[in-house]
Structure 1
């Protein structure tokens, strides 16, 4: 069986798994709604504050939320792989000629698809709340989100293959995700932070993705931060995928 046939079969299998999970479907719809209904109204009095000078609070808030969805949409997928390891599914792949890269990519593409579907959903839902969408910018935002979700999904899968235990990977994911998200300025712009926090954020690739998404949502397609975001994320994603592929080849050798 060719690589692309294996990839297609495994991707379809993973998508069907997700669609059969009521919890997954509820969170896919519920999470964007909760951000819009329960947090966005708190920001309406921040117009004119640093980072909110454009006059539209949602155009600053929503791109950050979309990056959050991409990060967490990738980070926690490893828990499902741990369950597959426990059930012996990964072990059974050892005796098949299945492409190990296709197994990884099939899962990652499922995770990317889920994130992009949520992105479209929350964007459409936010329009009645006052969001002003630049559709060309949204296309580039979705490319950024695809890279981010693929990066963190590959990391999560590699971690699961190494640790083989939810108890082992949970504290690592928590310890990594919290500083990444706090230093990304995903809910409130980093312009409101002290200078030392703004400097620390410059070493966080996700910060550039948040800033680029806000620029793109406003229609600033040529903003320097857009190129910076891709320049920061692509090398990191390549390194993580290299590690994830090695982990799959070792686990399914």
Structure 2
């Protein structure tokens, strides 16, 4: 099982890096957010310094990578479904869940590379975070990315159409971002948005990430975020595997 998952992970990584333009853009985009957007938040932070703004925005940027970097990964699965390669893999002697797990693992590798780059830039700009908080932040990012990637694979196998999938994702991405307080903290939102925000799972991850970057690993938002996203990741992973079994007949 592990061998098959590793083989599919390597196969997906080779496909991704065969055209280095997209991985390069995926690495550069979060850095641009950090360099160009975070300074705009200086007036919204208590200290009013660039470091204070980065301490608020860096965890949001990492979670933005985890969700929206992995949420659109299912489009490649639709292309494989259309050209017949997915069916050939599904009826091969390979362990079927490895087909989905390999894609999810590839997304996790890309997320780690992006997270490391974002953290290097943030550290260079003066942000500091403890070892325990850093490990918890990376684990939270991994759980969030696992949920987003598995959701994307399951949605791709269910919809099987790029237009339908893009419309579905685009309908939810903007409310998801705004109600999570990714770009601007939800404390600055109107009261009705603050009321709705806790219903958004991403809101809990953002709150936990900011607590970790402010040196509060015992904050109640941290276990809540982990509980929410571990459960969601397990559900979406099972859903994507079940959808693949239907494809294989």
User: 2:98 aligns to what?
Assistant: 102
User: 2:244 aligns to what?
Assistant: 248
Between the aligned partners of 1:20 and 1:133, the Cα distance in structure 2 is 35
Partner of residue 203 from structure 2, selected from 177, 192, 207: 207
SS across alignment from 2:199: coil
The 8 Å contact of residues 208 and 228 in structure 1, kept in 2 or not, is answered as yes
Instruction: Give the 5 Å matches for 1:53-92.
Output: 56-92=52-88
Give TM-score, length-normalised by structure 1.
0.93
Instruction: Give the 5 Å matches for 1:91-240.
Output: 91-240=87-236
Greater mean alpha carbon deviation, residues 8-17 or residues 131-140: 131-140
User: 1:16 aligns to what?
Assistant: 14
SS across alignment from 1:132: coil
Between the aligned partners of 1:183 and 1:148, the Cα distance in structure 2 is 16
Greater mean alpha carbon deviation, residues 19-28 or residues 111-120: 19-28
The 8 Å contact of residues 157 and 243 in structure 2, kept in 1 or not, is answered as yes
Between the aligned partners of 1:209 and 1:156, the Cα distance in structure 2 is 19
2:57 equivalent to 1:36: no
The 8 Å contact of residues 108 and 154 in structure 1, kept in 2 or not, is answered as yes
The 8 Å contact of residues 134 and 218 in structure 1, kept in 2 or not, is answered as no
Deviation at 1:46, TM superposition (A): 2.5
- Work out the number of aligned pairs and report it: 249
SS across alignment from 1:219: coil
The 8 Å contact of residues 183 and 204 in structure 1, kept in 2 or not, is answered as yes
Deviation at 1:238, TM superposition (A): 1.9
Aligned-residue RMSD, C-alpha: 1.8
User: Deviation per CA, 1:124-148, whole angstroms, max 9, x where unpaired?
Assistant: 1122222222232111111111111
Between the aligned partners of 1:155 and 1:218, the Cα distance in structure 2 is 30
Between the aligned partners of 2:61 and 2:196, the Cα distance in structure 1 is 21
Deviation at 1:76, TM superposition (A): 0.4
Give TM-score, length-normalised by structure 2.
0.94
Structure 1 unaligned blocks of 5 or more: none
Deviation at 1:37, TM superposition (A): 2.3
The 8 Å contact of residues 201 and 207 in structure 1, kept in 2 or not, is answered as yes
> In structure 2, do the counterparts of structure 1 residues 127 and 94 end up closer, same or farther at CA, with 3 Å as the change threshold?
closer
Structure 2 unaligned blocks of 5 or more: none
Between the aligned partners of 1:19 and 1:172, the Cα distance in structure 2 is 28
